[in-house]
């Protein structure tokens, strides 16, 4: 088990879905986790209560990072709470699910704001708190490199994110800060359940996945925990797929 005692971790989108599993995994390994979220305070309070009952150090911080005022408030809370940050996980994502020609400028701007620009803005704000041994990990998706129906906006933003992280990796590695991405296959979270035709797609994905199973949030969290460990320090600038073999060439 990865020992993260006395480590501070910041997880965006850290109170729901994959982000929640990541927050729990990091906290179970000893880290004090600061889980950022945008809106649902009731859900965040329930998550904090769950963490306390389990003896885990998880602090939730509310703030819509896409808006300047709440972005600043969130960063100020993190800065006040943490002298140093050891792990930064970018899990938050959003987007509009439409065909390419149905996407307006507003749709594209919104999707890229959440999935790309905010990530760079937050990394730039917090990088000064990271020292030797730090980890920055992004969560991407197969849509960054593959065509998925109704996924144009999100897929394009994820492709841009992957390129950004490769440059991060090259620039930060000499300082001892290791950057990677994880790319889960289909994970049945509340967010993905709103995707058009998701039940049919889930059944098809299971059928064509060699393991016959969908990836679950806890498996993504376990991979991220490994990337935070010392043995993983030579894994740099990689996008690691966890999809049960779904993406293998036919």
Question: What letters, b where the CB count within 10 A reaches 16 and e where it falls short, cover 59-86?
Answer: bbbbbbbbeeeebeebbebbeeebeebb
Nearest to 217 by CA among 1, 4, 26: 26
Residues involved in catalysis: 151, 158
Predicted local distance difference test score (pLDDT) of residue 2: 85
Q: Taking all residues of the chain, what is their mean pLDDT, rounded to a whole number?
A: 94
Phi, psi torsion values for 154, nearest 5 degrees: -65, -45
Nearest to 88 by CA among 40, 147, 35: 35
For 9, 86, 154, 160, 176, the CA distances from 237, given in Å and listed in that order, are 20, 17, 21, 14, 13
CATH annotation of 8-240: 3.40.50.720
User: Within 13 Å, how many C-alpha atoms sit on residue 5's CB side?
Assistant: 2
pLDDT, tens digit, 9 for 90 and up, residues 50-97: 999 999 999 999 989 999 999 999 999 999 999 999 999 999 999 998
Model confidence band, residue 202 (pLDDT cutoffs 50, 70, 90): confident
DSSP secondary structure string, 118-151? HHHHHHHHHGGG--TT-EEEEE--GGGTS--TT-
Nearest to 163 by CA among 119, 103, 223: 119
């Amino acid at each position: 088990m990865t020992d993260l005692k006395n480590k501070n971790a910041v997880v965006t989108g850290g109170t729901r879905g994959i982000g929640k599993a990541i927050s729990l995994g990091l906290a179970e390994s000893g880290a004090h986790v600061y889980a950022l979220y945008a809106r649902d305070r009731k859900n965040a309070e329930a998550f904090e209560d769950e963490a306390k009952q389990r003896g885990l150090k998880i602090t939730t911080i509310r703030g819509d990072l896409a808006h300047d005022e709440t972005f600043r408030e969130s960063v100020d809370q993190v800065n006040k709470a943490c002298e140093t940050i050891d792990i930064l996980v970018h899990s938050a994502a959003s987007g509009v699910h439409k065909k390419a020609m149905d996407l307006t400028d507003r749709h594209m701007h919104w999707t890229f704001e959440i999935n790309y620009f905010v990530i760079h803005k937050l990394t730039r704000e917090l990088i000064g708190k990271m020292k030797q041994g730090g980890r920055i990990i992004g969560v991407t998706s197969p849509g960054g490199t593959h065509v998925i129906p109704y996924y144009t906006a999100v897929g394009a933003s994820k492709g841009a994110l992957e390129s950004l992280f490769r440059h991060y990796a090259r620039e930060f590695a000499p300082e001892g800060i290791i950057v990677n991405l994880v790319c889960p296959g289909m994970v049945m979270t509340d967010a993905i359940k709103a995707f058009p035709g998701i039940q049919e797609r889930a059944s098809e994905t299971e059928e064509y996945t060699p393991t016959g199973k969908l990836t679950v949030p806890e498996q993504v969290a376990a991979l991220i925990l490994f990337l935070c460990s010392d043995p993983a320090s030579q894994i740099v600038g990689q996008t690691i797929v966890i999809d049960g073999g779904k993406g293998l060439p036919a």
